[in-house]
């Protein structure tokens, strides 16, 4: 569908913008909510997966004969059990179950289903895999060198110039103008090399699913995922069955952040169930989550920026090198597109290299690829400001992208909110607060695209006049609340008269994954349209009762009313009254809407953070943090604030502590939360938030996605604060105490 430029001019909201209680709150605090591992079925088997202990090895053979004889074992699966995948599913298939080679520590090579955990473990030990261990590479810079161990042959595409390592899969380039000319116009040019470590999304709920395939070929799957339609389509493709025969139900989800936008265990559980003719449940351990799901890329970057003494940026050049694990598809293109997007630049170029290494295939992580690129650009801008004695917020505002700016990645921006976030930051008391000894303040800006996609909703008016709304996107960030609010707003009824549920894949049409900050925008748009359809029917029913033309009926405050004195004098009919006689006036009343929602509005944020560095230990304490972000229209401000805070906290972890550490043997050294340290409440101050509302013209209420932009600025904002506090520029994340201490020592020496 073409963009519905249906933005309702500023209107007075009654429900949208308020803060009602979340509909899933009681279930979640009482333990009644059912997550992935909570589903059970009669006769259910336990599924377990055997994983490669090698970073890179040829699989010469797998002997499962002894495992199959272990008492209680009902099925053993290897790659040979799966049909040859379609080309577009080949890498997903190979990641789910290794074929010719194991490409990383933790890569699945076989799986068993048994009547007990004990039997399953015993069977895994009885599987003999004949490995030929191969040289490996886990570092992006090493992988790009000629002569580096190659994971694949002939996979580099037409964009990679001759002479590059065969581990470079794709090259991207964006920009306009002449950067060399721009650098000559600058009073100061700074170039820095920066690195970031791979970070995991750190969702608290491990992947879990329960699969049941019947002898008639019909299958059911209960799963913790960000997109059960994606799971259905992908698994059906991998197993070679019709999508309509696989019914997938999404459980409640204990976090995803992009990491649950693909499949890992689900096809394996289905194949085990098909072979065993019994339901099979697989629940990943935390170690498996770290070793065999998708963290984000680690990166190596070079950034060069020129600036005049008055703060004008004359040119920006960034080369981003992202390793995306064992298969092509790192998010480097988004880093390259987003890194300079906050600024109105005459001369800008960004280059990205997508590189494979012997690590688990990266998965999306909130604004995939953008935080690292922003870290590079915002760090160099900060250093330029400090060396030229300029106000870092003032410089950003001076160069800020605005309506009419041709962005660094091509399109011209329409109405955007970056200047508003910077102006709000300048006015905020945080900006003027005094700092103490060993303390520093950092700021940074960030950008994310957002998108819409395929969306279906169905709204049903019950005989008592309350409303059920059915949508097809797992609720990760409060979508049931925001959909309920938009439905109530449109219908003109109270919030507690609407209940929103998440349908299984057999109950609604195709819905894209809950990602891309799309749900409040796209599902919200569809909800509003479905409500308007139901309202139209209600008006028609009232018109029938009154014996007037439907066009002579309007809908106001949850009631059908005659449109004016000429329409006749009839008392308004409420939704309850119309619903009560629906059987008599034509049958049940419902509205639905199906759309490929286009027109998502881009989003910008500015972050400000104060830290204190302990010069004796190198430890960093975050003292104060404020997020300024454009939400378009905040439907439920508490959830919007939660998204802002969550992104900031994940960014704090990424900046200060989180890191995939590989040994010389190519094996992951810290696959657990004791050794991979995410921030906990005691590490953090209250994250303050300021919501800006610059309407998105592509949504009736002006909504923009808010879930991803908030993780883009924190890496740079914290690096700028730590560098100010420590008195030395840090260029490698995470800024863990040993690295900070080393940098301070080197500066003093």
Partner 1 sequence: MVKVAIWGSLRAATGGKGEVEIEATTLRELLDRLAEDYPGVRPQLARGVSVSIDGLVYNDSWFTPIRPDSEVVLLPRIVGG
Q: Contact positions toward partner 1, by CB under 8 A?
A: 1-3, 157-159, 171-176, 257-259, 261, 333-334, 337, 349, 351, 363-368, 409-414, 448-453, 515-518, 596, 598-601, 698, 705, 708
Nearer to partner 1, 182 or 392 (CB): 182
**Alpha helices, H only, 190-248:** 228-239
Nearer to partner 1, 175 or 618 (CB): 175
Nearer to partner 1, 87 or 436 (CB): 87
Length of the chain: 749
- Shortest Å, Cβ 329 to partner 1: 10
- Shortest Å, Cβ 699 to partner 1: 11
- Shortest Å, Cβ 363 to partner 1: 8
Q: What CA–CA distance (Å, rounded) separates 167 from 142? A: 10
Q: Quick check: 324 and 356 in contact, CB under 8 A?
A: yes
Q: What is the Cα gyration radius of the chain?
A: 27
In terms of DSSP bridges, do strands 280-283 and 45-51 run parallel, antiparallel, or are they unpaired? parallel
- Shortest Å, Cβ 709 to partner 1: 11
Q: Give the H/E segment covering residue 374.
A: helix 370-388
Q: Quick check: 34 and 251 in contact, CB under 8 A?
A: yes
- Shortest Å, Cβ 116 to partner 1: 37
Nearer to partner 1, 366 or 396 (CB): 366
- Shortest Å, Cβ 430 to partner 1: 28
Nearer to partner 1, 410 or 738 (CB): 410
Positive or negative torsion for Cα 262, 238, 265, 671: negative
Closest CA to 654 of 327, 453, 369: 369
In terms of DSSP bridges, do strands 498-502 and 467-471 run parallel, antiparallel, or are they unpaired? parallel
Nearer to partner 1, 258 or 695 (CB): 258
In terms of DSSP bridges, do strands 128-133 and 246-250 run parallel, antiparallel, or are they unpaired? unpaired
In terms of DSSP bridges, do strands 168-176 and 348-355 run parallel, antiparallel, or are they unpaired? antiparallel
Nearer to partner 1, 173 or 616 (CB): 173
Nearer to partner 1, 166 or 599 (CB): 599
**Residue 609 pairs with which residues in a beta bridge?**
442, 625
- Shortest Å, Cβ 513 to partner 1: 9
Nearer to partner 1, 696 or 723 (CB): 696
- Shortest Å, Cβ 338 to partner 1: 10
Q: Quick check: 340 and 310 in contact, CB under 8 A?
A: no
Nearer to partner 1, 251 or 261 (CB): 261
Cα dihedral 519, 226, 329, 413 in deg (nearest 10): 10
Q: What CA–CA distance (Å, rounded) separates 506 from 518? A: 22
- Shortest Å, Cβ 391 to partner 1: 30
Nearer to partner 1, 8 or 556 (CB): 8
Angle, vertex CA 732, rays to CA 374 and CA 449, nearest 5: 15
Question: Among all chains, which residue has been given the structure tokens 């921030």?
Answer: 679
- Shortest Å, Cβ 43 to partner 1: 37
One-character DSSP codes across 145-193 = STTPPPSSSS---TTSPTTS-TTEEEEEEEEES-HHHHHHT-SEEEEEE
Q: What CA–CA distance (Å, rounded) separates 595 from 454? A: 6
Q: Quick check: 481 and 193 in contact, CB under 8 A?
A: no
- Shortest Å, Cβ 355 to partner 1: 15
* Cα–Cα distances in angstroms (integers) from residue 415 to residues 17, 274, 403, 525, 640, in the given order: 21, 53, 5, 19, 20
Q: What CA–CA distance (Å, rounded) separates 196 from 583? A: 63
Nearer to partner 1, 157 or 549 (CB): 157
* Cα–Cα distances in angstroms (integers) from residue 400 to residues 442, 449, 490, 700, in the given order: 17, 16, 36, 27
Nearer to partner 1, 199 or 542 (CB): 199
* Cα–Cα distances in angstroms (integers) from residue 373 to residues 33, 258, 317, 351, 447, in the given order: 38, 18, 11, 11, 11
- Shortest Å, Cβ 696 to partner 1: 9
- Shortest Å, Cβ 597 to partner 1: 9
């Amino acid at each position: 569908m073409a963009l519905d430029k249906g933005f309702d001019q500023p209107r007075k909201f009654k429900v949208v913008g308020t803060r009602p209680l979340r509909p899933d709150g009681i279930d979640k605090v009482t333990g009644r909510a059912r997550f992935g591992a909570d589903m059970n079925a009669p006769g259910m088997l336990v599924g377990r997966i055997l994983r490669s202990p090698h970073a890179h090895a040829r699989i010469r053979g797998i002997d499962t004969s002894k495992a199959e004889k272990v008492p209680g074992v009902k099925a053993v699966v290897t790659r040979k059990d799966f049909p040859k995948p379609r080309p577009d599913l080949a890498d997903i298939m190979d990641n789910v179950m290794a074929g010719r080679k194991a490409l990383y520590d933790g890569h699945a090579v076989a799986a068993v289903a048994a009547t007990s955990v004990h039997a399953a473990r015993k069977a895994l030990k009885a599987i003999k895999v004949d490995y030929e261990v191969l040289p490996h590479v886990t570092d992006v810079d090493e992988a790009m060198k000629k002569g580096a161990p190659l994971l694949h042959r002939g996979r580099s595409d037409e964009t990679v110039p001759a002479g590059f390592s065969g581990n470079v899969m794709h090259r991207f380039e964006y920009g306009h103008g002449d950067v060399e000319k721009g650098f000559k116009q600058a009073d100061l040019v700074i170039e820095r090399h920066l690195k970031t470590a791979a970070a995991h999304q750190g969702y608290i709920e491990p992947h879990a699913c329960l699969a049941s395939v019947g002898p008639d070929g019909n299958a059911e799957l209960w799963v913790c995922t960000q997109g059960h339609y994606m799971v259905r389509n992908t698994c059906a493709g991998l197993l070679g069955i019709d999508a309509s025969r696989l019914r997938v139900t999404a459980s409640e989800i204990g976090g995803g952040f992009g990491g649950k936008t693909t499949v890992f265990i689900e096809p394996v559980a289905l194949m085990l169930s098909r072979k065993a003719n019994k339901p099979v449940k697989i629940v990943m351990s935390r170690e498996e989550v770290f070793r065999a799901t998708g963290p984000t890329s680690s990166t190596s970057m070079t950034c060069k920026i020129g600036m005049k003494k008055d703060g004008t940026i004359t040119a920006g050049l960034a080369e981003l090198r992202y390793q995306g694990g064992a298969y092509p598809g790192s998010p480097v293109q988004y880093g390259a597109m987003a890194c300079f997007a906050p600024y109105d630049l005459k001369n800008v170029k960004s280059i990205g290299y997508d590189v494979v290494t012997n690590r688990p295939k990266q998965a999306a992580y909130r604004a995939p690829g953008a935080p690292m690129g922003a870290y590079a650009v915002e760090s160099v801008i900060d250093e330029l400001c400090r060396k030229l004695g300029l106000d870092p917020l003032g410089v950003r505002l001076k160069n800020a992208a605005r309506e009419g700016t041709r962005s660094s990645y091509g399109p011209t921006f329409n109405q955007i909110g970056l200047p508003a976030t910077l102006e709000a930051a300048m006015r905020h008391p945080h900006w003027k607060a005094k700092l103490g000894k060993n303390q520093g303040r950092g700021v940074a800006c960030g950008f994310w695209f957002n998108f819409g996609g395929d969306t279906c909703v169905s709204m049903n008016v019950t005989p008592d006049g309350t409303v059920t709304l059915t949508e097809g996107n797992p609720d990760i960030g409060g979508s049931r609340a925001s959909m309920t609010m938009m439905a109530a707003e449109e219908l003109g009824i109270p919030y507690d008269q609407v209940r929103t549920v998440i349908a299984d894949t057999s109950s609604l049409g195709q819905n894209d994954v809950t990602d891309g900050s799309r749900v409040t925008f796209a599902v919200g748009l569809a909800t509003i349209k479905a409500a308007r359809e139901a309202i139209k029917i209600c008006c028609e029913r009232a018109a029938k009762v009154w014996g007037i033309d439907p066009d002579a009926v309007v809908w106001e405050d949850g009631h059908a009313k005659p449109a004016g004195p000429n329409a006749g004098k009839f008392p308004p009919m409420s939704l309850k009254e119309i619903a009560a006689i629906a059987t008599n006036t034509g049958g049940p009343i419902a509205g639905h809407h199906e759309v490929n929602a286009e027109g998502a509005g881009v989003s910008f944020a500015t972050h400000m953070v104060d830290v204190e560095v302990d010069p004796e230990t190198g430890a960093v304490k975050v003292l104060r943090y404020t997020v300024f972000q454009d939400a378009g229209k905040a439907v439920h401000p508490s959830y919007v604030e939660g998204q802002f805070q969550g992104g900031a906290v994940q960014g704090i972890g990424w900046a200060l502590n989180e890191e995939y550490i590989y040994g010389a043997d190519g094996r992951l050294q810290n696959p657990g939360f004791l050794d991979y340290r995410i921030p906990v409440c005691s590490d953090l101050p209250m994250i303050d938030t300021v919501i800006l509302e610059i309407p998105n013209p592509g949504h009736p209420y002006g909504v923009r996605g808010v879930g991803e932009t908030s993780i883009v600025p924190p890496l740079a904002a914290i690096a700028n604060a730590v560098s100010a506090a420590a008195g030395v520029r840090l260029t490698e994340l995470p800024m863990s105490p040993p690295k900070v201490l080393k940098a301070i020592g080197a500066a003093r020496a």
